[in-house]
Chains A and B, each alone.
Chain A
């Protein structure tokens, strides 16, 4: 693994804002650079997704008045920013930049975008075969959830355990959108959106954004906070395989083993994990495929408080997309929270003696095509 470090992070605090997508990114970039002890003039690599706005990095680099010598607009859904960290580390190792800035901003909530239930048509060739049937993001995850239940006997109550754990953590995060505790019963009684997924199986819709600064070790030496090491990383795409797919296996089955092997870290060395939680099923299947339990045993694994603070594998200590924030592409928050945990900055929700964290982003939909990006991060 290229020896690059994460030196600064910032999560935009508002959940509904009058600020623009560009302003959110500018304020987040300024704060993340300040967190690192760097200035805008130090930035020579820039990363963001397309459509954020327009042709990705072009609009943002212009607005921020940056002069990068390395630019990356990788857009693979919500995991994009996790992949950006990997790409930034590789670019730094190759000598193509030394201070890489990753930014994200979105106004989904104030723009009234129904992220989960809107028609999911992207203007692609495949739309003529998929877009005719009332597809939405939640529907395309629900298909897979239903199949997981059928094949492995997973229950709605087990899925609900994921939402309950995230809500408990949100209660410890003053910035989280929803902080009142919920029970398994609350999840099961919430309205069915697309069976078997209830309203509380689905992530929230917020505005938001953030920034991450990845730097060369020489830069990191003089910075104000201890940087976080990138120990291992991997990316993969899983898709329909021309009509021959096992939809119960996610991209995490490819990325988990690769990232952990690169980091030379075993599952029991992971102190906490940030697992993309677009829906409860996303977490359950990702944990299986990352190898924290056997395939099909995710239902039992997520139960009994294992995912809560003080449990065997605390996840999504910020409250996750299920309770804290989800502006559409949540990957950057996974990185931000993992870094804060490794630095011991999480206050009431701090995982005790957190030395190693795993981040896994999922982008796209489990029911058609999706990306997976894994990072293993460690205290310097």
Chain B
């Protein structure tokens, strides 16, 4: 596997289930057992009610583009060698927004509201990075 030049996640005990899901190519969304709220990014408490009784819901991995920008200049590691690239918010069918990249589509064809699906890049034995691509 070629050296991965972009930043890697610093996985903690709190976030490990999310990253283990990614390794299985499953995008997990947290759901609160106390109030039912769903959230991303994952964390140790429910952001709605502060309960710590949370479960992991496998997302269908489908959503729509909420916002995107085509970046032509950056100093960001790995990305500065692959210009232009697309930074985006995707809104999952499960109702949460996810900051991500859009890959596999011509920037000129991208639109807010267009359907997308998750895709995973296996960057090491331990880490798979979720991104989204036109559905």
Contacts and interface: CB of A to CB of B under 8 A. Distances in A.
Given A125-B12, A244-B96, A143 B6 contact: no
Contacts of B43: 125, 242
Interface in B28-87: 37-43, 47-48, 66-79, 85, 87
B74 A127 contact: no
Contact of A128 (B15, B67, B70, B98): B15
B100 interface: yes
B87 A134 contact: yes
Interface in A125-149: 125-136, 138-140, 142-147
Contacts of B112: 146-147, 150
Interface in A156-212: 191-197
A54 interface: no
A114 B74 CA distance: 9
Contact of A133 (B38, B40, B41, B101): B101
Contacts of A147: 66-67, 112
Contacts, number: 140
Interface stretch (A33-41, A61-69, A116-124, A325-333): A116-124
B-side binding surface: helix, strand, loop or mixed? loop
B78 A134 contact: yes
Interface centre among A240, A242, A244, by most B CB within 10 Å? Answer: A242
B70 A243 contact: no
Given A139-B71, A240-B97, A132 B129 contact: yes
B98 A243 contact: yes
Contacts of A150: 67, 112
Given A143-B88, A247-B89, A132 B67 contact: no
Contact of A127 (B10, B69, B96): B10
In the A-B complex, list the 4 residue pairs whose CB atoms are closest, starting with the nearest. A243-B96, A134-B79, A242-B47, A128-B9
17 contacts: A117-B73, A117-B75, A119-B7, A121-B7, A125-B12, A126-B41, A129-B99, A134-B6, A139-B69, A194-B73, A194-B74, A242-B96, A243-B41, A243-B95, A243-B98, A244-B96, A244-B97
Given A129-B42, A139-B87, A367-B89, 4 more contacts: A132-B9, A139-B71, A143-B89, A147-B112
